[in-house]
Amino acid sequence: MTGPDNPVDTVLAASIELVVFDVDGVLTDAGVYMGATESGEAVELKRFDIQDGVGIKMLMWGGLDVALLSGRVSTATELRAKEIGVECHQTPDAYKMPAIEGLMARKGIGWDAVAMLGDDIPDLAVLRRVGLPAAVRNATAPVLGIAKWTSTKQGGRGAVREFCEALLEARGDLHQVIEAYVEERSGS
């Protein structure tokens, strides 16, 4: 769990209503496995960390909206978003601003109510505007330079879970979310 050595600012945390995650390099280790079936149908595989997915669910259990925002279109990303029950916005050529602005307009929130965890240059346009820009440990220098929080773990290797727990801890909700989950699943 996140400790006092890597907290999210409590004032920022309290203002967050929407958490957005980049996919490649954040939810994955940035590796993309590409191939084809015998009939020539393209196949793309990505590795997602299961504990990161639970972290995302914890944010939702804590009352936050969550969305995935990717700068490339991928069936693997769509499948993962569907599995964990979050909105998925995939934009070709990393044009992320229209997708995030549409999402914010639908939810009736401003930039200060949005947190984003990113890793690379395609995330910068959004990270520069959100209230809580966050980075995975192995993010590029431009992203690390503007991040208000940085994980101790690498993208695709627990950084998302670390961020989710740090955000919930800063909001004072982490213990309650965990206990509500355990209690719900302890009955018969």
CATH number at residue 27: 3.40.50.1000
Q: Average of pLDDT values for 170-179?
A: 96
Q: What is the pLDDT of residue 8?
A: 95
Q: Classify residue 5: in a domain, yes or no.
A: no
Q: What is the pLDDT of residue 24?
A: 96
| Model confidence pLDDT, tens digit, residues 117-145 | 999 999 999 999 999 999 999 999 999 99
Q: Classify residue 42: in a domain, yes or no.
A: yes
Q: What is the pLDDT of residue 185?
A: 86
Rounded to the nearest 5°, which phi and psi values hold at 69? -135, 105
Q: What is the pLDDT of residue 1?
A: 41
Q: Is residue 85 predicted with pLDDT exceeding 80? A: yes
Q: Which residues contact 118 (CB under 8 A, 6 or more apart)?
A: 22, 26, 124, 126, 127, 133, 134, 135, 136, 139, 143
Q: What is the pLDDT of residue 187?
A: 76
Q: Classify residue 18: in a domain, yes or no.
A: yes
Q: Is residue 181 predicted with pLDDT exceeding 90? A: no
**What proportion of the chain, given as a percentage, has pLDDT over 90?**
90
Q: What is the pLDDT of residue 4?
A: 57
Q: What is the pLDDT of residue 103?
A: 96
Q: Are 74 and 22 a contacting pair, CB within 8 Å?
A: no
Q: Which residues contact 64 (CB under 8 A, 6 or more apart)?
A: 16, 17, 18, 19, 167
Split at pLDDT 50, 70, 90, the class of 184 is: confident
| Model confidence pLDDT, tens digit, residues 22-53 | 999 999 999 999 999 999 999 999 999 999 99
Overall domain count for the chain? 1
Which residues constitute the domain of residue 61?
Answer: 10-186
Q: Classify residue 2: in a domain, yes or no.
A: no
Instruction: Look up residue 153 and give its DSSP letter.
Output: S
Split at pLDDT 50, 70, 90, the class of 188 is: low
Q: Whole-angstrom Cα distance, residue 11 to residue 148?
A: 12
Q: Average of pLDDT values for 154-174?
A: 97
Split at pLDDT 50, 70, 90, the class of 153 is: very high
Q: Classify residue 1: in a domain, yes or no.
A: no
Q: Which token pair is 13? A: 């945390």
